[in-house]
Homo-oligomer: A and B are copies of this chain.
């Protein structure tokens, strides 16, 4: 299954500006992207980065550049792949580049469900659409606002069947400092190779702060 991973090279992860400077945010975003690409490939997907500009460094997968904002760029990709021709269609997946907790197991479940129905969505915390698989040409994205609700509505209006993937790992996109805690918690809990994003955070001195109710992060 082709898996598009949209990636913005411009001012990535600005909501982490209280913890990381611009160069650090760019490096951390790239570490997350590489983790996601690895997880996609390990889950049997064929990753392709959909970037707003050329990406520095070898990503060991094809990179397509589309300068437009996320919504038109993804819709153009859906248009190009899911035409109205009759017969069996290959589904296409879109997985966000900041799902630092994504595992091959969670993505495998998404891809498997995606082969069975018109649209399969992994909602993000806070109403986002962190990943989806579309098999039907009538589906279109609109990433503005609570996109999960919009995508359910778009699918319902088009009479499409929708499946929802209930995964904490796929629901956890990394935008805010509290999300960094999530990356570190699961890297520590799982043991073994923590992945590039968690390793990057540790090397940058970002550590768990367990002094308050929910666990946060401190920079040491």
Interface residues of A (CB under 8 A from B): 15, 103, 105-106, 123, 125-128, 145-146, 148-149, 152, 164, 166-172, 175-176, 178, 181-182, 185-186, 188-189, 208, 210, 213-215
Contacts and interface: CB of A to CB of B under 8 A. Distances in A.
A127 B215 CA distance: 6
Given A123-B168, A168-B171, A171-B168, A215 B145 contact: yes
Contacts of A210: 127, 145-146
B166 A126 contact: no
A67 B15 CA distance: 42
A152 to B, nearest CB: 5
B175 A213 contact: yes
A144 to B, nearest CB: 9
29 contacts: A123-B185, A123-B186, A123-B189, A125-B125, A125-B168, A125-B172, A125-B182, A125-B214, A126-B178, A126-B181, A127-B181, A127-B208, A127-B210, A127-B215, A145-B210, A145-B215, A146-B208, A148-B185, A148-B189, A149-B185, A149-B188, A152-B189, A164-B189, A166-B168, A166-B169, A168-B168, A168-B170, A175-B213, A175-B214
A146 B128 CA distance: 26
A195 to B, nearest CB: 16
Contacts of A166: 103, 105-106, 167-169
B127 A214 contact: yes
A178 B186 CA distance: 21
A148 B188 CA distance: 10
A185 B171 CA distance: 13
